Amino acid sequence: MSPSSPQPSAVDPATLLPPAEPVQLLDDEGVLHEVDGYPIDLKDEDFRTLYRYMVLARRVDKQAINLQRQGQLGVYASLLGQEAAQVGGAYALTERDWVFPSYREMGAALVRGVDPSSILHLFRGTWLSNHDPLATRFGLLSIPIGTQALHAAGFAMAAKFDGNDIVVMSYFGDGATSR
């Protein structure tokens, strides 16, 4: 750095760490509790809708696994155990926001209005997915590990340059974080 350039401000590393006590909204019995700083603005109908999406995601997932075992799909990556993270994350978005998925995000796809059969084309090898990303704001599934994070970051930067106030969400797993 040249002497005239501004010096970076010092950041206390402790401020970047999560709190000592985890935030827990659900207790061991499944009862929802409000926690300061984490308002719950969902109605009973929202909870029913979220639950419906999670059950539907699991059902589609089970059927896709069956199709893969029958040889109808060349490959299929299960979302088992990730339903709540996918559905909850996608449900929190507005219609204008975008999702850039990896290859497991059937739950998020359902919330965004993508027909599951259109995504299964990718796993069958008959088409590169058969949904309109512009209509659903749900990008094409990404098979290579971690590439969707770059797509999301580029899209978010372009939106910022355009003055477009949107959220761009990317899903990725431990394979992408270990790279």
Max avg pLDDT among 54-68, 120-134, 140-154: 54-68
Q: Quick check: is 78 in a domain?
A: yes
Domain containing 153 equals: 42-174
Q: Can you tell me the mean pLDDT for 145-165? A: 92
- pLDDT category of residue 91 using cuts at 50, 70 and 90: very high
Residue 13 lies inside a defined structural domain of this protein? no
pLDDT value at position 26?
A: 84
Query: How many domains does the chain divide into?
Result: 1
Task: Tell me if 100 is assigned to some domain.
Answer: yes
Average pLDDT over residues 151-177: 91
Partner residues linked to 162 by β-bridges? none
Q: Is residue 79 part of a domain?
A: yes
Proportion of the chain above pLDDT 90, given as a percent: 58
Is position 8 within any domain?
no
Task: Please check whether residue 98 lies inside any domain of the structure.
Answer: yes
Residue 139: which residues within 8 A CB-CB, separation 6 or more?
98, 99, 100, 101, 133, 148, 151, 152
Supply the pTM of this predicted model. 0.81
Distances (CA, A) of 67 to 60, 121, 124: 10, 12, 9
User: Mean pLDDT across the chain, nearest whole number?
Assistant: 89
Q: What is the pLDDT of residue 5?
A: 55
Asked whether residue 34 is domain-assigned, the answer is: no
Q: What is the mean pLDDT of residues 11-28?
A: 80
Among 58-67, 129-138, 148-157, 168-177, which is the least confidently predicted range? 168-177
- Single out the residue of 173, 168, 178 nearest to residue 89, CA to CA: 168
Whether residue 10 lies inside any domain: the answer is no
Give me the pLDDT at residue 161, please: 94
Q: What is the pLDDT of residue 88?
A: 95
* Among 134, 141, 135, CA closest to 73: 141
75, pLDDT greater than 80:
yes
Answer yes or no: is pLDDT of 110 > 80. yes
Distance CA 20, CA 43 (A): 30
Here the CATH number for the domain that contains residue 67 is: 3.40.50.970
Which SS3 state, helix, strand or coil, does residue 47 take? helix
- One DSSP character per residue, 118-130 reads HHHHHHHTSSS--
Nearest Cα residue to 77 out of 170, 143, 174: 143
Instruction: Please count the residues of the chain.
Output: 179
